[in-house]
Amino acid sequence: MSDWVEACDAEDIDEEDVMRFDHGGRTFAIYRSPDDEYFATDGLCSHEKVHLADGLVMDDIIECPKHNGRFNYKTGAARGAPVCVNLRTYPVKLDAGKVLIQIG
């Protein structure tokens, strides 16, 4: 499994923020946590296929912009109505100031 893909520069994302990343017809959301770690999940909300990157990051939660469904972006776990289906998460690593994600 060497399908690591370069998504962006580490500095492209503010702390406690999120960015959209499209690759190979798929869309992902890449997060930088308040303690400066990087994470990646599916890019679309599991409620109505809305881009999560327009949402708000608070601690380890991403809140969907459309109806405020919440997910823990570190684990992908759905955290309350209206979302009930978890997000898939993807491994992330930093290399020479770049954010790489492994999309399996």
Partner 1 sequence: MTKAMIIIGAGECGGRAALALRDLGFEGPVTLVGDEPHLPYERPPLSKEAMTGEAPVIKAITSDEILAERSIRHIHSVQAVAIDRAAHAVRLSDGSALPYDKLLLATGSLPRKLPMPGLGARCVYLRTYNDAQAIRAHLRAGNRVAIVGGGFIGLELAASARKLGADVTVVEAQPRILMRGVPAEIAEIIHKQHEAEGVTILAGQGISAIADDGAEVRITLAGGLEVVADLAIIGIGAVPVTTLAAEAGLSIDNGIAVDAELRTGDPDIFAAGDCCSFPLAVYGGRRVRLEAWRNAQEQGALAARNMLGAGEAHAAVPWFWSDQYGLTLQIAGLSDEGHSVVRRDLEDGAFILFHLAGDGRLVAASGIGPGNAVARDIRLAEMLIAKRATPAPEALGSQTVKLKSLLAA
Kindly determine how many residues on this chain lie close enough to bind ligand FES according to the rule CB under 6 A.
10
β-bridge pairing 56-58 and 61-63: antiparallel
Tokens representing residue 17 in the block: 């923020």
Torsion, Cα 53 42 86 68, to 10 degrees, reads 10
Binding pattern for the stretch 61-100 against ligand FES, x by CB under 6 A and - elsewhere: ---x-xx-x------------xx-----------------
**Window 12-51: residues binding ligand FES (CB under 6 A):** 45, 47-48, 50
The binding site for partner 1 (CB under 8 A) comprises 16, 50-51, 54-56, 63, 65-68, 81-82
